[in-house]
C-alpha cells in the first residue's frame, strides 16, 4: 500500500490535517505552524490524487480513510486529533466512524455528512483549457483561467498546484483526469448507520451554504457529541478567509 506524502511540523500531541478538493497540504502551512508552535506535532497530509501524493484510478472515501489509517500505522501514531476541510472533512468523518479507536478528537471544516450534488464542473472545465504545450508561465495559466473563473482567490488557490514537471514544462499536481471522472464520489454522504461518539467540532463559514441550519439533526445523528460553531466573515475557505478566528475556535476545542 502506498504512503501519503506529508509535511510534519513541530513536536507534541499528533494533529493530522486533511485538505479539500483540488487542494494540498501547503494550503494549511500557516495554520499548521501555529498549531505546531502551541504543542502539537502537525501532519499536513496530501490525499491521494492531490499534492505530492500518489495518483490512482481508485478514488472514494473508504480508500482515502484507509490511506490515513495506513499513514498513522507507518508513523506509529496510535491515536490522533483529526481535522479535515470539505473533501478532507468527509475523509475525516469516514475514518472517525469506521475506526473510532484512531481518533481522539474530530474537527470538520465546512462540510456536512450529507450528500452534495456535483457542483465543481465549471472549475474542472476551466482547468481542462490549460494546454501546457503552449502555457509556459503562471501568468499565462492565470490568463486562460480568468476567462472562465472570475474570482481571483479561486484562481490563486488552483494555481498553487502548478509545478515544473521537467525543464520548461509545467503541469498540475492533482490528477485532473481521475478527479473529473470521479466527480460523483466527492459529494458522497457517509454511511447512514455510521457514528462517532467522540468529541467533535463542526466549523462553518457564515457566508457558506455548505452547512445550513437544517443539517444540525443529520450531524447530531452521526456525531452525537458534536458542537457546531460559526466562523464569521468567511465562506467555504473559512480557514483562509478568517484564520485568526478559525485557529481560536479550533485550538480551544483541541485543548478542552
- Is residue 82 within 8 A of residue 103, CB to CB? The reply is yes
Q: Give a yes or no: residue 1 inside a domain.
A: no
85 is catalytic: no
Strands 40-45 and 6-9, by their bridges, are antiparallel
52 and 99 together in one domain: yes
Claim to verify: residue 106 and residue 38 sit in the same structural domain: yes
Both 63 and 146 in one domain: the answer is no
Give residue 73's pLDDT band: very low, low, confident or very high (50, 70, 90). Answer: very high
Claim to verify: residue 107 and residue 193 sit in the same structural domain: yes
Stretch 87-93: mean pLDDT, rounded? 98
**Domain shared by 112 and 193, yes or no:** yes
Q: At what angle do helices 243-254 and 29-37 cross, to 10 degrees?
A: 40
Task: Please give the residue range of the domain that contains residue 142.
Answer: 121-181
In tens, the pLDDT along 159-211 reads 999 999 998 899 999 999 999 999 889 999 998 899 999 999 999 999 999 99
Residues 22-68: pLDDT tens digits?
Answer: 999 999 999 999 999 999 999 999 999 999 999 999 999 999 999 99
Report d(CA 33, CA 187) in Å as an integer: 30
Catalytic residue chosen out of the listed positions 50, 236, 239, 250? 236
- CATH code: domain of residue 65: 3.40.50.1820
Give yes or no: 65 in active site.
no
Same domain, 95 and 51: yes
161: cell is: 498546484
Query: Does the pLDDT of residue 145 top 90, yes or no?
Result: yes
- CA separation for the pair 23, 91 (Å, rounded): 14
Shortest CA distance to 50 belongs to which of 81, 76, 79, 86?
Answer: 86
Q: Which of 65, 81, 86, 104 is catalytic?
A: 86
Amino acid at each position: 500500500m502506498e504512503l501519503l506524502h506529508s509535511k510534519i511540523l513541530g513536536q507534541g500531541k499528533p494533529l493530522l490535517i486533511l485538505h479539500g478538493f483540488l487542494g494540498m497540504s501547503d494550503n494549511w502551512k500557516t495554520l499548521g505552524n501555529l498549531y505546531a508552535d502551541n504543542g502539537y506535532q502537525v501532519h499536513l497530509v496530501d490525499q491521494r490524487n492531490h499534492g505530492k501524493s500518489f495518483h490512482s484510478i481508485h478514488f472514494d472515501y473508504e480508500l482515502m480513510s484507509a490511506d490515513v489509517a495506513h499513514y498513522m500505522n507507518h508513523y506509529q501514531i496510535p491515536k490522533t486529533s483529526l481535522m479535515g476541510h470539505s473533501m478532507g472533512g468527509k475523509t475525516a468523518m469516514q475514518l472517525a466512524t469506521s475506526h473510532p479507536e484512531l481518533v481522539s478528537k474530530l474537527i470538520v471544516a465546512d462540510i456536512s455528512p450529507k450528500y452534495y450534488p456535483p457542483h465543481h464542473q465549471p472549475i474542472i472545465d476551466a482547468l481542462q483549457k490549460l494546454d501546457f504545450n503552449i502555457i509556459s508561465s503562471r501568468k499565462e495559466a492565470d490568463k486562460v483561467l480568468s476567462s472562465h473563473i472570475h474570482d481571483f482567490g479561486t484562481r490563486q488557490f488552483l494555481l498553487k498546484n502548478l509545478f515544473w514537471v521537467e525543464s520548461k514544462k509545467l503541469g498540475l499536481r492533482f490528477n485532473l483526469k481521475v478527479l473529473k471522472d470521479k466527480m460523483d464520489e466527492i459529494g458522497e454522504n457517509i454511511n447512514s448507520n455510521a457514528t462517532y461518539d467522540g468529541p467533535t467540532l463542526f466549523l462553518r463559514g457564515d457566508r457558506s451554504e455548505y452547512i445550513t441550519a437544517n443539517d444540525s439533526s443529520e450531524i447530531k445523528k452521526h456525531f452525537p457529541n458534536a458542537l457546531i460553531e460559526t466562523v464569521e466573515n468567511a465562506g467555504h475557505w473559512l480557514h483562509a478567509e478568517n484564520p485568526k478566528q478559525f485557529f481560536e475556535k479550533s485550538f480551544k476545542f483541541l485543548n478542552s
